[in-house]
Structure 1
């Protein structure tokens, strides 16, 4: 099965989101913090008068935040009736997967193993296919990689 993927960088790692789940890629102008939320929730922002919950993907994976998200890129997704902006370090291509996701090889670390559906090959090289719902839930929500094979 061939699927389109949005290729991004998070914490210096090439990752991919299923493009069918991404509404758009935006540049974050301003984020309003939300008191008493989980650390990976950076706040809210607006997109054409719609509020988006902003997820700091780096923090959701257990890494340090890259700092002020103003000017950062984000993949806009819908999940369970809510809109989210997933902060990424860079969004750089939409390409096709060259096969099904494979099990994530060892050595990537617990954070990546928890959030990755699997490793997928593309024309520009391999990328970790990331479960959007894992980023939204944040670190410690449980691993999806054990459930392969997964059809996305």
Structure 2
């Protein structure tokens, strides 16, 4: 069975997201701040009468903060446990087939990437890191305790 992958860029790195988990790719133009939320929550946005919790994937991975000052940001919309999230990404490239099952990464990637990694998958575009969407939404473990 072939798994479809959405190729996106986060913090300048090309990664793969399980395409079956992505409802749509959108451009967000307005973010409403959420006081006292974990720092990886960039804010709230609306899409077709639904409220989306917007996740700053860079901050979730501990790689700094996405600059949202220019207004429009590209995001992948996902649903987890009945809640809708928009994952801010640098860009979205394509949907491709996975040519292999995920295999363990045999290199140090940094704490955030290691927490969110499901392994490396082969594609026609070369190997890509398969990212765990739920780990991006959850953020770093220390933020989970503080929330």
- With the length of structure 1 as denominator, give the TM-score of the two structures: 0.89
1:37-56 equivalences under 5 Å are: 37-56=37-56
Cα RMSD after superposing both structures: 1.2
Tell me by how many angstroms 1:104 deviates.
1.3
Q: Residue by residue, what CA displacement relative to the aligned partner does 1:85-109 show, whole Å, maximum 9, x if unpaired? A: 0000111110000010000121322
Q: Does 1:61 align with 2:39?
A: no
Q: 1:146 maps to which residue?
A: none
CA–CA distance in structure 2, aligned partners of residues 74 and 83 of structure 1 = 12
Residue 136 of structure 2 aligns to a residue whose secondary structure is helix
Equivalent runs, 1:6-21 vs 2, <5 Å: 6-21=6-21
**Which aligned segments of 4 or more residues in structure 1 are displaced greater than 6 angstroms?**
none
Structure 2 match to 1:88: 89
User: How do 1:93-108 residues align onto structure 2 when only pairs under 5 Å count?
Assistant: 93-108=94-109
Residue range with higher mean Cα deviation, 68-77 or 34-43 = 68-77
Deviations 1:63-89 (A, max 9, x none): 111211621110000001100000001
CA displacement 1:16-55 (0-9 Å, x = unmatched):
1110000000001100000000000001000011100000
Identify the residue that residue 115 of structure 1 maps to in structure 2: 116
Q: Which runs of 5+ in 2 are unaligned?
A: 143-147
Q: Distance in 2 between matches of 1:79 and 1:56?
A: 16
Scaled by the length of structure 2, the TM-score of the pair is 0.92
